Every structure is written in structure tokens, then in C-alpha cells.
Amino acid sequence: MANAPHVFATSEADPALHATTQHGNVVHVEPELLGLAPFQWVSLAMLILILIAVFGAKVHRKIAGGLDGRIAAIRTQLDEAKKLRAEAEALRDEYARRIAGAEQDAANMLANARREADALLTQAESDTTELIARRERMAEDRIAAAERAAVDELRDRAARAATVASRELITQRHDAGADRRLVDEAIAAL
């Protein structure tokens, strides 16, 4: 440390800041004002500033009022947040009820649709059986009518054929004399 620079050299120091004592030692002298050292002046200034702030300007009341106002604003915000939370929970509960109601309504609608489908199916089955029975009756009636028409037509043909055949037989076997006898017998029978 022989080459280390000297920060303070005592031989070059300001002689006004040093005093010599009786034994020949140099002592550092602090600056003073009215007999008070610098740290005492700073303490005194702080004390005066605090006294002015507390008693003169009533700063503590302003600070307390500002803090109270801030606390009141925070409480108001907390109350609003509680109200919003309560409203949100109420909305959530309402929507949960609505969802449950909608699910119940959907189940009821499905059950009603099934009942209606079953009723429609039963009605369709009964209508179908009635329709089939009615169509069978109509077909039977048509068949019976066709049979009657065929029988009537057959009778008509048979009657016509018999008439034609009897006419031919009568014309072949009867002559004018036989006709007179028949007419005389018919008149006599009257």
C-alpha cells in the first residue's frame, strides 16, 4: 500500500477547520452557528416543520380526511362488488332453474309426443281395420251384385233361348188346325 493515493492529506488541509491543542495534536473543528452543530439545526428545522404541520396547517386532519375518504371509497367499491356478486349468483341460480325447467319441459314434451304417437298409432290401426272391414264388405257387396247380375243375365238368356226354342218347336209342330183347337179350348175354359 505504499503506492496508494492519499485521499486526505493532513498537511494540505484548510487550517481554519483545524485547531491545535496544548499537546500539539491537530483536532478537527466542526462548524457551528449560534452554538449549534449542523445536525442540531436539522433536528430543530424538522421539529418546527412538524409543529407547523400539526398545529398551524392542520395537515394531519387533511391527511386523515383523505385517508378516510379513500377508505370510504374502497368500502363503497367493496359494497358494490358484493352487490354485483349477489346479483351474479342470483342470475346463476335463475339460469340454473331455467335450465332445469327447460330440461323438465323437454322431458314432458317428449313424453307427450310419445303418448300422442301411441294414440295416433292406435287410432291408425283401428281406422285401418275399419277401412279393411268396410272395403271387404264393399267387395263382397260388389261380388254379390255381380253374381246377381250374372244370374239375372243367365236367366234372361235362358228365357230368350227357351222362347226362341219354343217358338221354333211350336212352329214346327203346330199347324193352323192345332192352333184352332187350342184357341177353342182356351175360350171354353173361360
pLDDT digits (tens, 9 = 90+) for 86-115: 999 999 999 999 998 888 999 999 999 999
Q: Would you kindly state where each structural domain of the chain is located, as residue ranges? A: 15-55, 72-172
Q: What is the pLDDT of residues 18-42, one digit of tens each?
A: 555 556 666 666 777 788 888 888 9
Q: Is the whole-model pTM more than 0.75?
A: no
Q: What is the pLDDT of residues 122-160, one digit of tens each?
A: 999 999 999 999 999 999 999 999 999 999 988 898 888
The closest alpha carbon to 51, from 42, 40, 60, belongs to: 60
